[in-house]
C-alpha cells in the first residue's frame, strides 16, 4: 500500500478510517515535535538538509531525496505490506495464522518489548544532539541528521503500535517515551548503552556500527513475531537501519584510511603529532562500543527469552531459514561461562540460550566489518590488525558481569585488570585528545576535517562539492 502524504500524519495504514486512533496520534504529534525541538539536534531548526523520505515501503520506496527543514520532515507510520497467508514460524503456536490483534495473555509481554525497542530510538537522538557542532563535513552532517530523523520515525513506529493495540496503557507508555531522557539521573532510558554519551564523531561512528547493529538483530527477531503488525513495522524499519550501519562502517573506515595514509606518508606511529587518530585509540573505542552493545542482548541464559520464543513473540535471526523444528523443546546450545578461574563452554537448553545465539549472529556480522577495516590497513601496507575483544570483556550484563576478562579472553584479578585497563578502554586522556580534534563544523562543501578521508561517493550520487546542508 502506498504512503498517503496528504494526511497530517503520513501513513500506509489507512489511519483516516479510524478516527479515534487518528485523533490520539494527532494529539501525540505536537508533543513529539516539542521533544524534537528541545532534545533533538541542537540549533538546527532552520537548516535545509538533503534527506531521503520514504514514498512507499517496497524496494524502490527510497527514491525521494530533497532539502527539508528537519521539523518539517514527514514522520509517519509505514508498515511493510501484509501477507494474508502469513503463519507463525516458531514456538507453541507454530503454523497458526499470525495474530492481527494482541492475544490477551501476551499483552504485557508485547507491550514491554515494544516499549524497550521504542525507548532506544529517541534515546539515540538525545545522545547525538550536540554532534552537529563539530561535524567533519557537510556530507557527515547530513548523514547524522538522516540517522536522527529516521530514529525519530522508529519512535513513531512503536508509538503507533502502542496507540493502536494497547489502549490507555499504550497511550501512557507513548507519553513516557518523551519523558525519559538519555543519562537523566531520575528518569533514564531503559537500556544501558542508551545512557552513555556520544560526545565525538569517533564515538558516533562506533555507535552506528555497533549499537545500531544491535537494532538490526533485535528488529530482525521482532520481525519474526507472531504479532503481525509488529513484524510488519520491524521489516520496514530494517530497510532504514541499513543506512545507519553504512554510516558507521564507512565512517570508521574513512578514519582508518586517513590514519593509514598519514602513517605511510610520514613513516610514523605518532598520529597525534599529525592531528589524526592513532590505531590503538581506535581499538580502545572499538572495545568500548562493542562491549557496551553486547550487553544489549541480555543474559546468556534467559527464561525471558525462552518464554518470548515459546509464546511466539520474538524469534531468532532469520528464523524461517533455520533448518530445525522451530520449537527447540529438547535441544541444547553451548554458551561460555566463567567457572573456577577459567572460561568454559557449557551446554544449556537451547530455549534459554536464545539471547546468546542472537549475540553470536551479531558478533559474526561485526567481525565482517572489522575485516573490511583491516583490508584498508593491509592495502596501505600498515601492519596493524583491529580486533573484536572477547565477548566477556567489560560486560555489565550476564555471566561475565562481575568478572574481569582481558580482550583475549583471560580471567584476570582485579589488580591485573586495573593495571592494564588503560590499554584496553578509552582513557580520560584519549577522550580529551579526540575531543580536541573535534573543531568547529567543517561547512565548506567538499571539504573534510584533517583526521578523516572523504567518502568514495556522494549520497544519491551527488557531486563531491554538493551542498548537503544549507544554513539559513
Distance (Å, whole) CA 65 – CA 99: 35
Hey, which residues does 411 pair with through a beta bridge?
Answer: 405
Binding of Fe ion by 111 (CB under 5 A)? no
| Least CB distance to Fe ion at residue 154 (A) | 4
Q: Are 377 and 256 in contact (CB under 8 A)?
A: yes
Binding of Fe ion by 391 (CB under 5 A)? no
| Piece of 8-16, 110-118, 362-370, 455-463 that binds ligand BYC (CB under 6 A) | 110-118
| Least CB distance to ligand BYC at residue 340 (A) | 24
Q: Are strands 64-69 and 48-53 parallel, antiparallel or unpaired?
A: antiparallel
* 211 contact choice in ligand BYC, Fe ion, none (CB below 5 to 8 Å, kind-dependent): ligand BYC
Hey, which residues does 77 pair with through a beta bridge?
Answer: 11
Distance (Å, whole) CA 252 – CA 131: 16
| Least CB distance to ligand BYC at residue 244 (A) | 7
Hey, which residues does 339 pair with through a beta bridge?
Answer: 342
Rg (alpha carbons) of the chain, rounded to whole number? 23
DSSP SS3 for 390: coil
Please list every residue from 289 through 308 that binds ligand BYC, using CB under 6 A.
Answer: 295-299, 302, 304-305
174: CB partners within 8 A, 6+ apart = 28, 159, 162, 163
Distance (Å, whole) CA 160 – CA 227: 14
Considering only 12, 44, 120, 203, the residue that binds ligand BYC (CB under 6 A) is: 120
Considering only 214, 224, 228, 319, the residue that binds ligand BYC (CB under 6 A) is: 214
The count of other CB atoms within 10 Å of the CB of residue 235 is 18
Considering only 25, 113, 138, 202, the residue that binds ligand BYC (CB under 6 A) is: 113
| Piece of 31-39, 119-127, 156-164, 362-370 that binds ligand BYC (CB under 6 A) | 119-127
| Least CB distance to ligand BYC at residue 204 (A) | 11
Please list every residue from 239 through 298 that binds ligand BYC, using CB under 6 A.
Answer: 295-298
| Least CB distance to Fe ion at residue 147 (A) | 6
| Least CB distance to Fe ion at residue 352 (A) | 27
Binding of Fe ion by 244 (CB under 5 A)? yes
Q: Are strands 332-339 and 342-349 parallel, antiparallel or unpaired?
A: antiparallel
Nearer CB in complex with Fe ion: 162/262: 162
Q: Say how many residues touch ligand BYC, by CB under 6 A.
A: 25
| Piece of 143-151, 274-282, 324-332, 366-374 that binds Fe ion (CB under 5 A) | 143-151
Cell matching residue 219: 528488529
The candidate with the shortest Cα–Cα distance to 228, out of 102, 109, 315, 116, is 102
Q: Are 319 and 326 in contact (CB under 8 A)?
A: yes
| Least CB distance to ligand BYC at residue 346 (A) | 17
| Least CB distance to ligand BYC at residue 470 (A) | 27
Q: Which residue has the cell 538546527?
A: 44
Cell matching residue 95: 503454523
Binding of ligand BYC by 148 (CB under 6 A)? no
Binding of Fe ion by 154 (CB under 5 A)? yes
Hey, which residues does 470 pair with through a beta bridge?
Answer: 48
Residue nearest to ligand BYC (CB): 298
* 304 contact choice in ligand BYC, Fe ion, none (CB below 5 to 8 Å, kind-dependent): ligand BYC
Cell matching residue 157: 513506529
Q: What is the DSSP string of 325-390?
A: -SS-SS-EEEEEEEETTEEEEEEEEGGGGHHHHHHHHHHHHHHHHHHHHHHHHHHTT------PPP
Considering only 140, 173, 196, 212, the residue that binds Fe ion (CB under 5 A) is: 212
Q: Are 313 and 99 in contact (CB under 8 A)?
A: no
Determine phi and psi for 411, rounding to 5 degrees.
-75, 130
Cell matching residue 23: 485523533
Please list every residue from 302 through 341 that binds ligand BYC, using CB under 6 A.
Answer: 302, 304-305, 314
- Contacts with ligand BYC by CB under 6 A lie at 113, 116-117, 120-121, 124, 151, 191-192, 211-212, 214-215, 218, 295-299, 302, 304-305, 314, 355, 397
- Contacts with Fe ion by CB under 5 A lie at 121, 151, 154, 212, 215, 241, 244
Amino acid at each position: 500500500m502506498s504512503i498517503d502524504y496528504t494526511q497530517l500524519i503520513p501513513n500506509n495504514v489507512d489511519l483516516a478510517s479510524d478516527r479515534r486512533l487518528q485523533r490520539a496520534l494527532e494529539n501525540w504529534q505536537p508533543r513529539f515535535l516539542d521533544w524534537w525541538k528541545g532534545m533533538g539536534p541542537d540549533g538546527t531548526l532552520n537548516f535545509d538538509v538533503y534527506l531521503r523520505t520514504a514514498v512507499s515501503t517496497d524496494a524502490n520506496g527510497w527514491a525521494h531525496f530533497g532539502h527539508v527543514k528537519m521539523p518539517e520532515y514527514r514522520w509517519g507510520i509505514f508498515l511493510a505490506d501484509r501477507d494474508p497467508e502469513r503463519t507463525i514460524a516458531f514456538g507453541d503456536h507454530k503454523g497458526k495464522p499470525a495474530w492481527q490483534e494482541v492475544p490477551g495473555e501476551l499483552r504485557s509481554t508485547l507491550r514491554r518489548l515494544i516499549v524497550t525497542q521504542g525507548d532506544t530510538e529517541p534515546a539515540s537522538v538525545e545522545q547525538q544532539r550536540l554532534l552537529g557542532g563539530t561535524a567533519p563535513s557537510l556530507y557527515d552532517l547530513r548523514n547524522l541528521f538522516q540517522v536522527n530523523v529516521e530514529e525519530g520515525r522508529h519512535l513513531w513506529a512503536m508509538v503507533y503500535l502502542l496507540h493502536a493495540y494497547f489502549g490507555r496503557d499504550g497511550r501512557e507508555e507513548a507519553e513516557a517515551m518523551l519523558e525519559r531522557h538519555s543519562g537523566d539521573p531520575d528518569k533514564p532510558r531503559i537500556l544501558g548503552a542508551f545512557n552513555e554519551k556520544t560526545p565525538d564523531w569517533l564515538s558516533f561512528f562506533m555507535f552506528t556500527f555497533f549499537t545500531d547493529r544491535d537494532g538490526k538483530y533485535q528488529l530482525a527477531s521482532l520481525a519474526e513475531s507472531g504479532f503481525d503488525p509488529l513484524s510488519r513495522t520491524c521489516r520496514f524499519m530494517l530497510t532504514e537501519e541499513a543506512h545507519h550501519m553504512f554510516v558507521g562502517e564507512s565512517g570508521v573506515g574513512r578514519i582508518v584510511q586517513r590514519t593509514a595514509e598519514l602513517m605511510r606518508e610520514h613513516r610514523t606511529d605518532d598520529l597525534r603529532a599529525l592531528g589524526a587518530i592513532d590505531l590503538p585509540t581506535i581499538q580502545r573505542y572499538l572495545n568500548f562500543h562493542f562491549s557496551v552493545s553486547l550487553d544489549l542482548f541480555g543474559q546468556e541464559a534467559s527464561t525471558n527469552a525462552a518464554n518470548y520464543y515459546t509464546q511466539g513473540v520474538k524469534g531468532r535471526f532469520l528464523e524461517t531459514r533455520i533448518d530445525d523444528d522451530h520449537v527447540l523443546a529438547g535441544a541444547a546450545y553451548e554458551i561460555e561461562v566463567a567457572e573456577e578461574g577459567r572460561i568454559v563452554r557449557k551446554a544449556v537448553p537451547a530455549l534459554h540460550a536464545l539471547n546468546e545465539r542472537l549475540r553470536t549472529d551479531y558478533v559474526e556480522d561485526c567481525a565482517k566489518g572489522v575485516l573490511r577495516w583491516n583490508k584498508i590497513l593491509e592495502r596501505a601496507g600498515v601492519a596493524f590488525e583491529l580486533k573484536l575483544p572477547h565477548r566477556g570483556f567489560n560486560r555489565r550484563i550476564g555471566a561475565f558481569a562481575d568478572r574481569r576478562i582481558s580482550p583475549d579472553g583471560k580471567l584476570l584479578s582485579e589488580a591485573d585488570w586495573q593495571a592494564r585497563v588503560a590499554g584496553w578502554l578509552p582513557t580520560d586522556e584519549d577522550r580529551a585528545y579526540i575531543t580536541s580534534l573535534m573543531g568547529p563544523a567543517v561547512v565548506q562543501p567538499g571539504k573534510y576535517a584533517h583526521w578523516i578521508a572523504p567518502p568514495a561517493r556522494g549520497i544519491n550520487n551527488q557531486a563531491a562539492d554538493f551542498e548537503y546542508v544549507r544554513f539559513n
